[in-house]
Amino acid sequence: MTNKSLTVTVFIFSLLTSLNVYSAPSAREKADALIENCKQNSKTTSSYAICLDESAKQVDRELQAWVFDAEEKLQAQMGKNGNESILSEYRRANKHYEKFIESQCRSVFFQNLTSSDAANEFRICKIKKTLQRIHQLKEDSID
C-alpha cells in the first residue's frame, strides 16, 4: 500500500468510525434550541411539522456550505501534492454519511410508526444528525 493510499484509507476510516459515536454538545444544544423554538412558536401540529421541515432545510443548507468548504480545501491540497483520489474518496464518504443519516432517521420513524408523532421524530432526527455532521466538519476544518 502506498503512502497516499494509506493516508486516504486512514481518512475514510476515521470519518466512517466517527459517524455514530461523535455527539457534540454544541450540536445537541443547537438542535434542542431549534426544536424548542418550533414547539414554542407553533400553535398547531401542522405548523410544528412545517417549522421542523424548515429547520431541517436550513441545517441542510448549512451542511452543504461546510461540505463545499471542505471540498475546496481538499482541491487546494490536491493541487499541492497531486493526489487526485483524496477528493473523490471524500465525496464518496460524504455520500455514505448522507445515506447513514437517512437510514438511521428512517429507523426512528419506523420505531415510532404507531405514534402520531413519527414523522416529526424523523425530522428531529435529521436535524440532530445533520448538526452533528456540521460540527464534525467544523472540527476537521480547524487548520
Give yes or no for a contact between 51 and 42, defined as CB atoms under 8 angstroms apart: yes
Residue ranges covered by each domain of the chain:
24-141
CA trace torsion 75, 79, 82, 83 (10° rounding) = -20
Higher pLDDT, 28 or 10: 28
Global pTM value = 0.77
Q: Does the pLDDT of residue 92 top 70, yes or no? A: yes
Residue of 30, 14, 6 lying closest to 97 (CA atoms): 14
Residue of 32, 57, 27, 29 lying closest to 133 (CA atoms): 27
pLDDT band at 126 (very low <50, low <70, confident <90, very high): very high
For residue range 29-85, what is the model confidence (pLDDT) as tens digits? 999 999 999 999 999 999 999 999 999 999 999 999 999 999 998 998 888 888 888
